[in-house]
A and B are shown apart, each in its own frame.
Chain A
Amino acid sequence: MRKSFKMMAAVMVLATAMVAMVLTSQNSAADTGSADSGSISWIMVSSALVFAMVPGVAFFYGGMLRRQSMSSMIAQTLAAISIMSISWIAVGYSLAFGSDGAIIGNLQHLFFGGLTEEASGGAISTLEFATFQMMFAIVTAALVLGACAERIRFNAIVWFLIIWSVLVYAPMAHWVWGGGWFDQFLTVLDFAGGTVVHICAGVTGLALCIFVGPRLSGTRKARAHSIPFAFLGAMLLWIGWFGFNGGSSALADGTAVHAFFTTQAAGACGMAAWAIVQYIKVGRVGVLGLIAGGISGLVAITPGAAYVGFVESMVIGAVGGALCFMAVRIIRSKTKFDDALDVFGVHGVGGIWGAISTGIFAKSSLAGVDGLIYGGVWTCSSDR
């Protein structure tokens, strides 16, 4: 058994290298249009900020586990960086953004073939966009890890991520952003990835934790081994979120500023709302509740960051915080699922609320279409 896997891995690496060699020979000529250096800079910084969320996830999740699971969490996160990057470069980008076919893209950009580094016409270059998107793929994979932490085998999660990156993440990105059927037949407002990143990560996490089964009761009851690490990770996530949402207009423009602001407003309101509800229900508030509340607010605003007004963003964040608290409480007490780090409770539920609330609160002056309140109809689910 072991031998066959080694063989399989070796064959895959060889095949990958050969395809890469063929494809690198077709680099396209540099574009010579005008370039917007402000946008180029901001998206490069945003890419780096989004990447900073990945170690953030490792600290955030690792800190909340037992002390004997810390390196395991870090190792899995590092594996996610490597797997998702290679997969995105090799096939992911092409499948997601290769063409506007309803189901999936094409294979013309394997190994980033045909992408140019020179920007033109005031937009960022295709290479910069593809790199920015690569960071999103990594973060999504890293978020999944929290659901099955402390019990899934390292080998199993490595194989899972390799297959998942091609069969789940790339199609999702294509459907929502790459011109797939969500885009063609439904009006989906997903500014920065509420659906692709958060709902997808949350639901994938739920599937994994159900399949793998719960941890031992002793492991489940164990307390977070390092509150400072959880705090550090959560704050890295929060800082990264400014690039995640602020960079998602792919330009350094007013939309980016709008999204940057609503991100902070929703995070703050999510934290406050979670804290208030927890205080009422449990009688005390601590670090873990405050950071989970903040993250819930940030998740909730992700799909609508650029599409909703200032006050609406605060409402979305606050409701997100309260809703995620209730969801986590229900999942923990009423179900047998052992979602170790509340990936579904926070990212799944927060992402679903974010997608729905964007449909409710979107303003046509910002989003191009009105939501329930400003338009009076469910544009979210009607045909364009």
Chain B
Amino acid sequence: MAVLATIVFCFAMSYAIIWLISKFMKVRIPEDEESIGQDIVEHGEPAYL
């Protein structure tokens, strides 16, 4: 019961929050940037040289 309530609440609320954020900004990186990797496209800091 408590487990069920937790699952429903966390899922619904988290989904609502990320949905709200998606109205203000892009939430995921474009496909070509994904293959390059976030280290470079987002942070400009590759972990390995």
A interface residues (Cβ-Cβ under 8 A, vs B): 1, 5, 62, 66-72, 74-75, 150-156, 159-160, 163-164, 167-168, 171-172, 176, 182, 186, 188, 195, 199-200, 203-204, 206-208, 210-213, 215-216, 218-219, 352, 355-356, 380-381
Contacts and interface: CB of A to CB of B under 8 A. Distances in A.
B6 A200 contact: yes
A360 to B, nearest CB: 13
A274 B29 CA distance: 34
B11 A203 contact: yes
Interface in B3-49: 3, 5-7, 9-11, 13-15, 17-22, 24-29, 31, 34-40, 42-43, 45-48
B14 A203 contact: yes
B6 A67 contact: no
B6 A172 contact: yes
B42 A72 contact: yes
Contacts of B36: 68
Contacts of B39: 68-72
Contact of A66 (B3, B13, B37): B37
B46 A153 contact: no
User: Interface SS of chain B: helix, strand, loop or mixed?
Assistant: helix
Contacts of A152: 27-29
User: Interface SS of chain A: helix, strand, loop or mixed?
Assistant: helix
Given A156-B27, A199-B7, 8 more contacts: A72-B39, A153-B27, A154-B38, A160-B17, A172-B10, A207-B15, A219-B35, A381-B2
Contacts of B14: 164, 168, 203-204, 207-208
A164 B20 CA distance: 12
Contacts, number: 142
A71 B7 contact: no
A226 to B, nearest CB: 9
The bracket for how many chain B residues form the interface is 35 or more
A207 B10 contact: yes
A331 to B, nearest CB: 15
Given A182-B2, A188-B2, A218 B17 contact: no
A71 B46 contact: yes
A199 B17 CA distance: 18
A159 B21 contact: yes
A324 to B, nearest CB: 16
A72 B1 contact: no
A207 B19 CA distance: 10
B43 A67 contact: no
14 contacts: A69-B38, A71-B46, A75-B45, A152-B27, A153-B29, A156-B27, A168-B9, A186-B1, A186-B2, A199-B7, A203-B14, A207-B15, A207-B18, A355-B3
Contacts of A1: 24-25
Contacts of B13: 164, 167-168
Contacts of B47: 62, 67-68, 70-71, 74
